[in-house]
Structure 1
Amino acid sequence: MVASLVIVVAAYAAASDDSGDSGSSSAAPASDTTGTVSTAAPELRLGYFANVTHATAVVGVAHGEFASALGTTKLTTQIYNAGPAEMTALLGGQLDAAYVGPSSALAAFAQSHGQALRIVAGATTGGAELVVRPGIATAADLKGKVLATPQKGNTQDVALRSWLKQNGLTANGDGTGDVSVAPQDNAATLDQFKAGHIDGAWLPEPWASRMVLEAGAKVLVDEKDLWPGGQFATTNLVVNADFLAKHPDTVKALIAGQIAANRWITADGAAAQQLVNDQLKQLSGKALSPTEIQRAFGEQAVTDDPLAASLQTSADHAVAAGLLKKTDLHGVFDLTALNAELAANGRPAVSDAGLSK
């Protein structure tokens, strides 16, 4: 098992030993003036990435939908580069909820024996590509090359290693094999590609677009082409299972805020692109060019549906890549609050693909 997943397990075990739960914030249920018991938490600690594939979170925080829906619950946020580190924080008690790719969520779920977290909503589909030097035309051309991913064991890392294996190429966890995979920070990947030190990368947006438009990379694989109908989960909303049990009203409010944020993104794409770009500059220190933000948005779409049917395939890919042990996924979803909020908005329920408890 990869080192990042071992860290996740250790963090989960330490939090459980110290507090008897997974470390999420909690408070005794309070009663309002009518005597109704409230399960609202005093604080919600939320993790997400400064990526276009996390536009739901970026907008929900910056445009105010999350804070409005959460009411008196204080929203605290933390930015991450990739999923394994974010899941370490969630299992170690530093986060209550997180926007994260399915592979990282699955790894944490599996290593905690299904106890640590629940996927409660979708967020993004699409928006991931393998971009390479122009002289590379086929999978066979990658032999002897160096490719990057955001972090070992994250969703794009799993996708790359699985795809390489399907094309008869080895990519060992220690960086050896037919193709050397070098997980690193996305900004470092762009610099390394420009300097000629790596030959490509499997990246989420906006980094794939930046590689193409700033550094002259070309798309070898658009991940949408590998999935039926082009539909697969890139980002989901997960919550600490203990936090969900103690504060279901807070989780429901967060989901209500997400639905409102996604509705605004869909209704006013131009304004959403501008807001996200402004936030990327604030969070990462650099805004995208108008062409980059337009391309990045065009490669992905926001969704409240976690596209549960794609999760088993994601798990199978991780197993095939040697990054995950075969795992029973039943219990990984809890879409109760999501479907209640969708119904309140006049929208149909979404499927858990039989993977709820």
Structure 2
Amino acid sequence: MKGFLPVAAVGLLLAGCAAAAPDDQLRLGYLGNLTHATAMVGVANGFFQKSLGDTRLTTQVFNAGPAEMTALLGGQLDAAYVGPSSALNGYVRSHGQALKIVAGATMGGAELVVRAGIDTPAQLRGKTLATPQLGNTQDVALRYWLSQHGMKTTPDGGGDVAVRPQDNATTLDQFRAGKIDGAWLPEPWASRLVIEARATVLVDENDLWPGGHFASTDLVVSTKFLREHPDTVRRLIAGELATNDWIAGNSAQAAKTVNTELRRLTGAALTEPEISRAWDEQQVTEDPLASTVGVQADHAVSVGLMSATDLRGIVDVGPLNAELEAAGKVKVDDAGLGDRQ
């Protein structure tokens, strides 16, 4: 890994390994993005807490996945909803010791939006684009897509296209001010740029994947917490299944719940056109879509954001499949990324 976690995080990792959180508490991280709808609805409607029973749920909200992974590696979180690239980052940086992907959450929900008049990849040469954070899932997706069109990028913003990792709210402000030319963003930020700032869609990431399916958010758990509290992890996953079932059966109400949570977390709700557009760009799922996680790892290696690593062991769908079987649902596959035999 060509380092997105600060050196201090290595020390935090060791500190985190010294003592796991007690079973009377589960510390969950997630982002204030629409692609984390499962987390927001599960927390707001009490599905997680009901499933966890006497285990108290505490939450922390982050702007982007790499910062969230720093917290997990540092022992400040037990579980986190996070983009696959950030999960890969944490796994590789900890030499395969720190975490497991135990479930999916969302597929889809990311776009490259640009200024009107930019209609082809070639027109991006010499331009400045934004992503949520260096090494996060959208950052990797943008850099790989640019490389496929013959354009190089560097982590420090050099190359044929300048990539500027920054807070999503800053991206909206800078796009309006003409300081950047576009951004590869998760929802609802892509929709906000389209509706509020008249950006146009150059790439819908769904179009880049077979069947339009790719993991944009997965649930990861600290390896130590999973080992010491497997029943708590199963109850957390059961809470996710209940959440996703409710979302599937109450789509309009779920969108309103998420919008209320976005107001609580960010200080501003989405307009009706924004929540409607963004909600339709994604889909909740329990399946971590492990095969696409492996491809995303290849993309990160290709653009120099991750060292090549044996990923067998990063996925553990055992607890998820146990809950799926108990619910009479179809089990999911780990795509060969389960524990080494």
Query: What band does the TM-score fall into relative to the shorter chain?
Result: over 0.9
Q: Which of residues 75, 88, 91 in structure 1 aligns to 2:57?
A: 75
Contact 1:22 1:240 in 2 (8 A): no
Matches within 5 A, 1:85-124: 85-124=67-106
1:243 deviation in Å? 0.5
With the length of structure 1 as denominator, give the TM-score of the two structures: 0.93
Letter of the 2:277 partner, please give it: R
CA distance in structure 2 between the aligned counterparts of 1:12 and 1:352, rounded to whole angstroms: 28
1:3 deviation in Å? 4.5
1:24 partnered with 2:6: no
Letter of the 2:112 partner, please give it: L
CA distance in structure 2 between the aligned counterparts of 1:142 and 1:325, rounded to whole angstroms: 27
Aligned partner of 1:328 in structure 2 is 310
1:205 partnered with 2:187: yes
Aligned partner of 2:300 in structure 1 is 318
1:222 deviation in Å? 0.4
Matches within 5 A, 1:69-218: 69-218=51-200
Residue deviations 1:70-102 (CA, integer Å, cap 9, x gap): 000011000001110000000001100000000
Letter of the 2:237 partner, please give it: I
1:225 partnered with 2:203: no
Contact 2:12 2:73 in 1 (8 A): no
Residue deviations 1:42-66 (CA, integer Å, cap 9, x gap): 1000000111100000000001100
CA distance in structure 2 between the aligned counterparts of 1:219 and 1:47, rounded to whole angstroms: 30
Q: 3-state SS of the aligned residue for 1:104? A: helix
Q: 3-state SS of the aligned residue for 1:208? A: helix
CA distance in structure 2 between the aligned counterparts of 1:332 and 1:3, rounded to whole angstroms: 19
Contact 1:2 1:152 in 2 (8 A): no
CA distance in structure 1 between the aligned counterparts of 2:19 and 2:91, rounded to whole angstroms: 16
1:15 deviation in Å? 3.5
CA distance in structure 2 between the aligned counterparts of 1:253 and 1:225, rounded to whole angstroms: 35
Aligned partner of 1:4 in structure 2 is 4
Identity of aligned residues (%): 63
With the length of structure 2 as denominator, give the TM-score of the two structures: 0.97
Q: Over aligned residues, Cα RMSD in angstroms?
A: 1.1
Q: 3-state SS of the aligned residue for 1:4? A: coil
Consecutive unaligned residues in structure 2, runs of 5 or more: none
Aligned partner of 2:235 in structure 1 is 253
Q: Which of residues 285, 308, 314 in structure 2 aligns to 1:303?
A: 285
Contact 1:233 1:311 in 2 (8 A): yes
1:13 deviation in Å? 3.7
Q: Which runs of 4+ in 1 moved over 2 A?
A: 1-5, 12-15
1:22 deviation in Å? 6.0
Contact 2:125 2:151 in 1 (8 A): yes
